[in-house]
Amino acid sequence: MTVPTKKGYDPFSVRPLPRLGVLISGRGSNLQAIIDAVASGQLQATIAVVVSNRADAQGLQRARDAGIEPLHLCPREYPDRQSYDAAVVDALRKRDVDLVCLAGFMRLVGPPLLEAFPNRILNVHPSLLPSFPGLDAQRQALEHGVRVTGATVHLVTSDLDGGPIILQAPVDILADDTVDSLSARVLIQEHRLYPEAIRMVLEGGWRVEGRRFVRSSAP
């Protein structure tokens, strides 16, 4: 039997590794957590491309440093959101991406992407959804006065930060917390949850029932 040795193939298996496309806009610390999980073998996948809507995103450098193709797609070069999203889809399809991971991607995901990757787009959000969707989730939690917030990884739907929840982790809010101190502790949970959620989704054996992400193997 001939074992494929092409990049993206596990040399000990004839099955190609699933291919991730990671979409970012900035720092890319969640991207880094995914890169590290792939490097350590926690995540059996290949990161096929990192797409950013911003040329100066630090995450593009993280991609380069890890030997992953960085791709800047500038929204200003497209007439509208629809055609920008179509260009993102085109880039992902050309690279045979199976699963799309939003990691601090600061744009709404429109129909072209949602239709091209149904239940195949994940996002990480810095609150316990459905509390505090949208921007500045950590500030919203502090200002609301909740005692516990956290991190959520969910499937992306047309409902902003409202898709089926895959994993969540709580973070206590301390009396002297600032947005920065709270964000730092939430981020630790994001970095732990995101690779694990990707692993679960790639593993299969799950379905979406109404709003719920249901694992067949779950107790």
> What is the contact surface with ligand GRF in residues (CB under 6 A)?
24, 26-30, 103-104, 124-126, 187, 190
Q: Could you tell me the smallest distance in angstroms from the CB atom of residue 29 to ligand GRF?
A: 3
Q: Which residue's CB is nearer to ligand GRF, number 30 or number 149? A: 30
- DSSP class of 11: T
Nearest alpha-carbon partner for 80 in 114, 115, 107: 107
Q: Which residue's CB is nearer to ligand GRF, number 10 or number 185? A: 185
Closest residue by beta carbon to ligand GRF = 104
Q: Which residue's CB is nearer to ligand GRF, number 96 or number 181? A: 181
Q: Exactly one of 125, 144, 154, 191 is catalytic; which is it?
A: 125
> Rounded distance, CA 37 to CA 192, Å?
10
For residue 36, give both structure tokens: 């590290």
Q: Is the alpha carbon torsion for 86, 91, 93, 99 positive or negative?
A: negative
Q: Could you tell me the smallest distance in angstroms from the CB atom of residue 38 to ligand GRF?
A: 15
DSSP letters for 82-129:
HHHHHHHHHHHHHTT--EEEESS--S---HHHHHHSTT-EEEEESS-T
Q: Which residue's CB is nearer to ligand GRF, number 26 or number 163? A: 26
For residue 145, give both structure tokens: 């006065």
Q: Could you tell me the smallest distance in angstroms from the CB atom of residue 108 to ligand GRF?
A: 13
Told to judge if 72 belongs to the known catalytic residues of this protein, a careful annotator would answer: no
Q: Are 137 and 125 in contact (CB under 8 A)?
A: yes
Query: Catalytic amino acids?
Result: 125
